[in-house]
Amino acid sequence: QVQLQQSGPGLVKPSQTLSLTCAISGDSVSDKSGAWNWIRQSPSRGLEWLGRTYYRSKWYNDYALSVKSRITINPDTSKNQFSLQLNSVTPEDTAVYFCAKTQWGKNWFDPWGQGTLVTISS
């Protein structure tokens, strides 16, 4: 049974970098059929897919256009986890952030991490 456990700070100052980690158990971040996603949820934007990383003989990333210039999603094979970095944050980036898995050919999100409320405020 795959489980995802998120960690990271709940408060980030404007213009700084938001960093979250999603630890994987019961699966491998290098699994060639999986993809590892970040999604956020806010009252103003609803559920918004931010991007994903996946391994198919080499590592690939896809990012939403809305954050493409500011986002990095990286795998960490030594710790079997993946991370989200969002640069130059503003109060509009305040949201609950989730990590979630999809599988190739089965592109629904399951499972999800527990969610992390990140507030952007000085």
Partner 1 sequence: EIVLTQSPDFQSVTPKEKVTITCRASQNIGNNLHWYQQKPDQSPKVLIKYASQSFSGVPSRFSGSGSGTDFTLTINSLEAEDAAMYYCHQSNSLPWTFGQGTKVEI
Distances (CA, A) of 76 to 11, 45, 93: 24, 29, 24
DSSP 90: -
Tally: H helices and E strands in the chain: 0, 10
Residues in 35-54 at the binding interface with partner 1, rule: CB under 8 A? 37, 46-49
Out of 21, 83, 94, 102, name the contact with partner 1 by CB under 8 A. Answer: 102
4: three-class secondary structure by DSSP: strand
Binding mask 68-97 for partner 1 (x = CB under 8 A): ------------------------------
The yes or no reply on residue 103 touching partner 1 (CB under 8 A) is no
Out of 62, 70, 76, 80, name the contact with partner 1 by CB under 8 A. Answer: 62
Name the residue with tokens 């944050």: 89
* Region of 7-15, 23-31, 78-86, 106-114 interacting with partner 1 (CB under 8 A): 106-114
Strands 11-12 and 116-120, bridge-based pairing: parallel
Q: Please report, as ranges, the residues that interact with partner 1 according to CB under 8 A.
A: 37, 46-49, 62, 64-65, 98, 100, 102, 106-115
